[in-house]
Structure 1
């Protein structure tokens, strides 16, 4: 049984249906570097009314 011809038929069918693969994307094009402000500054003050978004503990909710 010759499987080389079957593989070629399958490859031809795939190519007809999907076309060729897109070009590879370089790693450098996928990475983005940005400057950020250091933590602990005045840009991110503590907000007690909004702290419920970050903590989900029943004991804290009940004040225990």
Structure 2
């Protein structure tokens, strides 16, 4: 095995600062959620017939 090069403390600190010196940009909570519909909306589902109750309950 070839010997691994030893970094000096200054070089190691500079490499660490270059990699971890700044925190990533903040992500807002509304950017963390992706919404999608589970099913396609059915336009006939919520159709209201004003006279339907007359037919169902009065006849």
TM norm structure 2:
0.30
Q: Which has the higher helix share?
A: 1
* Rg larger for: 2
